[in-house]
Structure 1
Amino acid sequence: MAAKFAVFTSIILSSLATPGNLLDSPKILPFHFPSNLELGTHVHVLCGLSKGSLPVNFVWKKKSEILFPLKGKIEFLYDADVSNLKIKNLESNDFGNYTCVARNEAGEDSYTSQLIAEAPPFWKEQPKDTEAVHGQSASLHCGIGGYPRPKITWKKAYGTQSKDFLVVHNEYKKTILENGTLVIDSLKEADEGVYTCEAENGVGEGIQATVRLSVHAPPTVTSVKRRTSAKRGETAVIECEITGEQPLLVSWEKDGTKLTMPFTRFETYEEANGKGVKATLLISNVQRRDQGNYLCSVQNDYGSVKDVTALTVQEPPESPSDVKVISVNSRSAQVIWGAPSGISTSIKQFVIMFWKNSKVSGKLHQVSLTSTETSTLLRDLQPGNEYTVQLLAENDVGRGDPSDPVTFETKEEEPEAPPVDVEVEAADSHTLQISWKPPPTDTWNGQLKGYHVGYKVEGSASQLAYETVIKTNLREEKTLLRNLRPSTRYSVAVNAFNSAGDGPASEEIVTSTLNGDPPQSPEVKVKNVSQTSVTIMWSPRVNSDASVEQYVLEYVDTDQNKQEFHAPGSHKEYCIEGLESGQRYSIRVAAYNMFGRGDFSPSLVVITEGNARVPGYEPIVHETPFYFRLYFVIPVVASVTVILCVIVVAWACLKRAHYIEGRKAQLYVSYQQRLTYVPPSEISRDSRAVDAAYDIPWDVPNGGGSMGRDRSSYVKLKQGQNYV
């Protein structure tokens, strides 16, 4: 009715206007939607004129489309120079730009305002389980709505339990589109698994959904010999190793003709392995007519593949005879041999093969020689290495069997390269620790016997003094230079040697001994043990002019999970909280001063009170007789409990007194559990290098930074203490 009234009013006012009157075009006053809107509420806005001749016609638009009244949703109220838009039960799809247009005979004006309300994330399109084929691409959709625009994160589960997730980033073949879709190109088996899409925008609760991506593998021939041969009368073996999703259907063809089994002298069988199938074609009593191309054809539900092996039937010559190696030097050796007996005139050429024997397979070298040659010189060999050499003869049909292998060893030369990654650091005021790695293996020119570590006071005219270190099989060598001067700079260099002599020395490294020593390990004791916490206390041992600047505390649980944190040097006790009841923990403490970290204290083994939790345990409930039910048992148990509590408390107090007096055991348990403690061997300090968790000491004047402030969620500072 209001709309009809407005139109009627416009018609009347229009009839009153005379052509001679000067009309003003409408001008809309700016309007805005409220900024604190919420979903489900109502909103209305006024579009009024600052000027303009009547009658005026108002039109509302959203995203360039005209709005019409909608029962229970959109209403319009009109006056002569005002239009009121009302939107009920605000939803996320109501967001957008709204435009008010005012028209009269003199012209028109419009004004646009944006309707925005905060909305938590909601699903436009939930992710679904997806299946794809190996090598192709897959798209995992995650359609999310909400305002502000939600942040979408994809994660992929790893591990056998699929409980731990890693964030998926835009990298290599993974792309997260603007609409939240995760696209994975060139799928592999590693891409298969469980994925989770998470969304949050700071409004309300975030949402997430988990899906599985299954990657199906078409058949692939992973191993096939392009050419193979067999001697006449023997059995030819043609193998085709295939991977792909089962079931795999294998068939064979020869020169385009399908081989239907059973076939004369032909036999096929298939052997399943961990990733697929190994298909084998056997041809017994091979004849020349069996020579040709054999096709291995495989298919499954996701594709097919074919591969060809060419079979050559041959009658090769005999092996060369009397193969010997003479005149062996460090980089060359001469090989002599005799021609095969009986068929030497049919030989086209000899092929000599040699390779270096090593743990890693040596590169095979092949040299072709004429049929008249009976010796050759092997060049460019590496000194101090063992080689194997074999010869074979070749005729028009093919190559014969190689001769028996002959091994020889080249003479040694001095190593060609110095040790690498040489590091020198001060252990204390009289000791330097030197560590290095061997030179590259191919520069040893023999077997390394050891190393010479040379050192002298920096700038002195004297020659380097040397200490010999016998080579070990470790990846890194170490030694200590002792009895040095305090606070003195030394030049250090290392070279390797073998039976032939010394190799080149590394570049000299200059390092100064300390002018003081790191602190000794503190004496650590257990002050208190509860079900979920352990309080330890320590006292430093004064052996240095430098005061302790901070402590590093380390504890390891039963599963060998290590936690480490730092405490200021002014503190002498710490409460470790968030532990599990009935669990065994190993705790040790080391001190830092300006000269570095001292030794860790011997480990304390502590068992928290209570019984250990057994995951997944569910008690079995049986119907019990009346005399076991609560109304009968409780009075009896209450009486017994009072008596037991008195006994147990007295016994626990006595045990606590024994623990305080007998500190050598250093095993702390609750009265429910008792274990025999074997003291751990003393842990020696192998380096003065700063501990990994002590990269930037947080309470040392020359440190700074935030290292050491980080606390595990299981470890907290003791309440009531003041910490920096």
Structure 2
Amino acid sequence: MAPKFLTIIVWMLLTLDLVFLMDVPKLHIFGFPEGVELGGSVQILCNLNKGSLPVKFSWTKDGMPISEKEGIETGIFNDRSSILVIQSVSYVNMGNYTCVVRNDKGSDSHTAQLIIPAPPFWKEQPKDTEAVHGQSASLHCGIGGYPRPKITWKKAYGTQSKDFLVVHNEYKKTILENGTLVIDSLKEADEGVYTCEAENGVGEGIQATVRLSVHAPPTVTSVKRRTSAKRGETAVIECEITGEQPLLVSWEKDGTKLTMPFTRFETYEEANGKGVKATLLISNVQRRDQGNYLCSVQNDYGSVKDVTALTVQEPPESPSDVKVISVNSRSAQVIWGAPSGISTSIKQFVIMFWKNSKVSGKLHQVSLTSTETSTLLRDLQPGNEYTVQLLAENDVGRGDPSDPVTFETKEEEPEAPPVDVEVEAADSHTLQISWKPPPTDTWNGQLKGYHVGYKVEGSASQLAYETVIKTNLREEKTLLRNLRPSTRYSVAVNAFNSAGDGPASEEIVTSTLNGDPPQSPEVKVKNVSQTSVTIMWSPRVNSDASVEQYVLEYVDTDQNKQEFHAPGSHKEYCIEGLESGQRYSIRVAAYNMFGRGDFSPSLVVITEGNARVPGYEPIVHETPFYFRLYFVIPVVASVTVILCVIVVAWACLKRAHYIEGRKAQLYVSYQQRLTYVPPSEISRDSRAVDAAYDIPWDVPNGGGSMGRDRSSYVKLKQGQNYV
């Protein structure tokens, strides 16, 4: 191992010594011979002057690797030389040739220039050029030759284009080193014929003539930046354009293209020597027509746009940001901002306000100066809703009103008492009080209800009060209960709202009764035919006073009401002259010396016949009527199966067609047999003495404690049956 290791170390040291002992290569200076002619051949050697071998040679032309396509060959002549050969010299072979040599120690290079005297020749022949007005144009004139040719540009002038002027480097015009003529910011005057000439003293010079065409893109030469028209008149917007034809004109409003035909809009173009005059007409100008109108023009060489702002002279916009602040019971402050938009000077503001009510409120208008931004509304009514609007006025007229603003004034106590207060004794312990609300314009807010005050007449104690919540009825009612019998009471009523109580009505003195009116009798139907109904009733004894008379009331399908009176000794009544197949609602009330009692629950009776009541559908009850006893006829044994089927079908039909809603008893006539359906609930009528009651049957003239006119007796109706 040791000898081998030592051998490797020795070899490495020797190699390093050899590297350190190498010299950097250095070339001999060389060059192309003089008198090289076109078509001839030429060769040069690149020789190593000094430097350690081995070395490597390479060639470049004008800094680029040499291509065989150029007819140039390179090769190794010997270990210390490289050769470059051009078999047939041409103009393309002219240039700088560089030989590079390298070894492990470094490199060296030398460059020789191949020059061939040659007259000017075209590398790139000029061509006709088209350019756009305002842009740049480049007229190329690529010329070769040695010595380097001198290039001159000339421009023809005159109608015959035979006379030329030399073009010099000046403002907007530059001749580059490669012979290209550059013209900036082209104008119509730059259009024409140009000639490029070149010469270098070798042979004859060359020249070429080209034409520069300058095309004109659209240009707006005249347009009004702002124009105006009164509302209802015709607005005219004009746009004068120059440029190369054809010119395509279009219009836009606030970014939206106007496609013709367009309502109230019309366009037309008038050609002139240099371009087009485009006009937009807007007939019957409206507020919505105000805005920015864009005239857009284009041709094959560009486009241009210009804007005209149209102002519609019209009444001003609505005042902005209208608010109501500092609202009290009888005043409110209104503030607002100036109208937005473009309009002529404002002359004044007009404020309008009115009270919101079912009946149209009176409109109030107040004129204000154009500098005011607030005002105080006075003489308002408390607790009422008002609406306020503002509008501005200028020389053209009044603008649209602002959005309505609604506000409500604060409430005050009602100013007036309830009206038409009446107090009646309902029984020995109850007084019925009725009244109507105060006039609406005295409420000063929304009525919440009423306080009914009462006390024993002449008593030093304070009034006791009962609260009655307001309803939407025209007349309010309440009952004062648990009072002393046969006692005189003073009663007064006042209305109240959220702010407090209003004034009380005048006190009314009324006495409770010594006894109570009778209870409602128990009423049943005895018989029903096609034209009559017989009812019977049983009185309920709840008072020491005997029944003096009965009042019977019935109502037909058309809500026509009829009343009959019967003496207190009667317990039955026959109503005749009815229509067949019709529905009637019947009820009975009893009178005694203390007044009329409650009506009995209504009985609904349908007379015999085929007439059908429109819109009437009877109630179907759970127990079929054909199971009831009154339907069992004496000839049951002779009823056949077929008859039973008919009866059952008939019962189902009656069940589907005779419905009585909710609170009434229902009686249906079928061959003098009656069905009675108990009422689902019993309603209680007012205990007030009925207004239709005229005279009790068996009370002497002027007698009794009811305070009614009893100067005559009621006669029985002729042709009636009484029991």
Q: TM-score, normalised by structure 2?
A: 0.48
In structure 2, do the counterparts of structure 1 residues 674 and 329 end up closer, same or farther at CA, with 3 Å as the change threshold?
same
Return the offset for 1:5: 211
Aligned CA distance change for structure 1 residues 685 and 390 (closer, same or farther; 3 Å): same
Cα drift, residue 425 of structure 1 = 1.1
> 150-159 or 278-287, which moves further after superposition?
150-159
Offset of residue 720 of structure 1: 10
CA contact (8 A) 1:592 1:598 kept: yes
Structure 1 residues 379, 262: CA separation in 2 closer, same or farther (over 3 Å shift)?
A: same
- SS of the residue corresponding to residue 626 of structure 2 reads helix
Q: Secondary structure at the match of 2:677?
A: coil
Higher alpha-carbon deviation: 484-493 or 693-702: 693-702
Give the secondary structure class of the aligned counterpart of 1:424: strand
Root-mean-square deviation (CA), in Å?
47.2
By how many angstroms is 1:603 displaced?
Answer: 2.4
Per mean C-alpha deviation after superposition, the further-off stretch among 470-479 and 691-700 is 691-700
Cα distance change on mapping 1:395 and 1:664 into 2, 3 Å: closer
From the superposition, tell whether residues 432 and 641 of structure 1 become closer, same or farther in structure 2 (CA, over 3 Å): same
Retained in 1: the 8 A contact 2:385–2:406? yes
For residues 455-507 of structure 1, the C-alpha deviation after alignment (integer angstroms, 9 at most, x for no partner) is 00111111111111222222222211111000111111111111211111111
Cα distance change on mapping 1:53 and 1:547 into 2, 3 Å: farther
Aligned residues: 723
Question: Relative to 1, partners in 2 of residues 1:386 and 1:45: Cα closer, same or farther, differing over 3 Å?
Answer: farther
Q: Distance in 2 between matches of 1:388 and 1:534?
A: 60
Retained in 1: the 8 A contact 2:630–2:673? no
Residues 291 and 321 of structure 1, relative CA distance in 2, 3 Å threshold: closer
* Cα 1:385–1:630 shift into 2, 3 Å: closer
In the superposition, relative to structure 1, how do residues 409 and 536 fare at CA in structure 2: closer, same or farther (>3 Å)?
A: closer
Contact in 2 for aligned 1:577/1:716 (Cα 8 Å): no
Name the CA shift for 1:143/1:658 in 2 (closer, same or farther; >3 Å).
Answer: farther
Aligned to 2:410: 411
The answer to whether the Cα contact below 8 Å between 1:695 and 1:707 also exists between their aligned partners in 2 is no
> Which deviates the most, 545-554 or 65-74?
65-74
In structure 2, the residue matched to 1:536 is: 535
Query: For residues 118 and 532 of structure 1, what CA distance do their matches in structure 2 show?
Result: 147
Deviation at residue 540 of structure 1 after TM alignment? 1.3
Compared with structure 1, are the counterparts of its residues 249 and 443 closer, same or farther at alpha carbon in structure 2 (3 Å cutoff)?
farther
What is the distance in 2 between the residues matched to 1:126 and 1:43?
Answer: 30
Task: Give the distance between the partners of 1:541 and 1:119, measured in 2 at CA.
Answer: 152
- Do the aligned partners of residues 414 and 172 (structure 1) sit closer, same or farther apart at CA in structure 2, a change above 3 Å counting? farther
Is the 2:667–2:675 contact (alpha carbons within 8 Å) kept by the matching residues of 1?
A: no
Report the Cα distance in structure 1 between the residues aligned to 2:270 and 2:625, rounded to whole angstroms: 64
Contact conserved, 2:334 with 2:376, CA < 8 A, in 1?
yes
Please report how far the alpha carbon of residue 285 of structure 1 lies from its aligned counterpart in structure 2 after TM superposition: 3.0
Structure 1 residues 255-264 or 211-220, which shifts more?
Answer: 211-220
Once residues 154 and 593 of structure 1 are traced to their aligned partners in structure 2, the CA distance between those partners, rounded to angstroms, is 139
SS at match of 2:5: helix
Question: Are the structure 2 counterparts of residues 549 and 682 from structure 1 closer, same or farther at C-alpha, using a change threshold of 3 Å?
Answer: farther
- Contact 1:318–1:401 under 8 Å retained in 2: yes
What's the secondary structure of 1:348's corresponding residue?
strand
Normalised TM-score (structure 1): 0.48
Task: Deviation per CA, 1:495-531: give whole Å up to 9, x if none.
Answer: 1111211111111111111111001111222333333
Q: Deviations over 1:425-459 (max 9, x none)?
A: 11111011112222122111112222111000111
Separation (CA, whole Å) in 1 of partners of 2:706 and 2:95: 48
Equivalent pair of 2:527/2:672 in contact (CA under 8 Å)? no
1:697 and 1:705 in contact (8 A); partners too = no
Q: How many percent of aligned residue pairs carry the same amino acid?
A: 90
Cα gap change, 1:411/1:684 in structure 2, threshold over 3 Å: closer, same or farther?
Answer: same
Which deviates further from its counterpart, 269-278 or 464-473? 269-278
Q: Bigger CA drift: 389-398 or 654-663?
A: 654-663
- Separation in 2, partners of 1:540, 1:40: 155
Task: Say if 2:71 and 2:87, in contact at 8 Å, map to a contact too.
Answer: yes
Preserved contact between residue 519 and residue 597 of structure 2 (Cα < 8 Å): yes
Provide closer, same or farther for how the CA distance between residues 160 and 381 of structure 1 changes in structure 2, counting only shifts above 3 A: farther
The aligned counterpart of 1:303 is 302
The answer (yes or no) to whether the contact 1:434–1:479 under 8 Å persists in 2 is yes
Aligned counterparts of 1:696 and 1:94: Cα–Cα separation in 2 = 150
CA distance in 2, matches of 1:658, 1:190: 106
Q: What is the CA–CA distance in structure 1 between the aligned matches of 2:716 and 2:201, rounded to whole Å?
A: 31
User: Partner of 1:440 in structure 2?
Assistant: 439
Q: Distance in 1 between matches of 2:146 and 2:604?
A: 54
SS in structure 2 of the partner of residue 635 of structure 1:
coil
Residue 602 of structure 1, CA deviation: 2.1
Q: Could you list the per-position Cα deviations for residues 343-384 of structure 1 after superposition, in whole angstroms to 9, with x for gaps in the alignment?
A: 687211110111223343322211011222222111001112
* 1:488 and 2:510 aligned: no
| Greater mean alpha carbon deviation, residues 496-505 or residues 284-293 | 284-293
Deviations 1:604-646 (A, max 9, x none): 3333344448999999999999999999999999999999999
- CA distance 1:346–1:168, shift in 2 (3 Å): closer
Distance 1:76 1:317, change over 3 A: closer
Matches of 1:151 and 1:588 in 2, distance apart? 135
Q: 1:647 to 1:511 in 2, by over 3 A?
A: same
CA displacement, residues 246-274 of structure 1 (integer Å, 9 cap, x when unaligned)? 99999999999999999997999999999
The verdict on how the C-alpha distance between 1:18 and 1:261 changes in structure 2, with shifts beyond 3 A counting, is closer
Native 8 Å contact 1:565 1:711 kept in 2: no
The answer (yes or no) to whether the contact 2:546–2:592 under 8 Å persists in 1 is yes
Equivalent residues of 2:616, 2:658 under 8 A apart: no
The answer to whether the Cα contact below 8 Å between 1:591 and 1:599 also exists between their aligned partners in 2 is: yes
Distance verdict in 2 for CA 1:370–1:436, change over 3 Å: same
Q: Which moved more, 1:49-58 or 1:615-624?
A: 49-58
Distance 1:582 1:721, change over 3 A: closer
C-alpha distance in 1, partners of 2:130/2:228?
A: 43
CA distance in 2 between partners of 1:297 and 1:260 (Å):
13
Compared with structure 1, are the counterparts of its residues 658 and 720 closer, same or farther at alpha carbon in structure 2 (3 Å cutoff)?
farther
Tell me the distance in 2 between the aligned counterparts of 1:634 and 1:209.
138
Determine the C-alpha separation between the residues in 2 that align with 1:203 and 1:647: 141
Checking the alignment, whether the CA contact within 8 Å between 1:123 and 1:145 is kept in structure 2 is: yes
Query: Deviation at 1:317?
Result: 1.2
**For residues 46 and 574 of structure 2, what CA distance do their matches in structure 1 show?**
66
Report Cα offsets for 1:653-701 as digits up to 9, x if no partner: 9999999999999654444699987644555444333323213446532
Change (3 A) 1:555 1:635: closer
Distance in 2 (CA, whole Å) between partners of 1:11 and 1:191 is 80
Question: Relative to structure 1, is the Cα distance of residues 358 and 593 closer, same or farther in structure 2, using a 3 angstrom cutoff?
Answer: same
Q: Which has the larger radius of gyration?
A: 2
Per the alignment, residue 293 of structure 1 pairs with: 292
Whole-angstrom CA distance in 1 between matches of 2:603 and 2:144? 55
Q: Per the alignment, do residues 13 and 682 of structure 1 end up closer, same or farther by CA in structure 2, a change over 3 Å counting?
A: farther
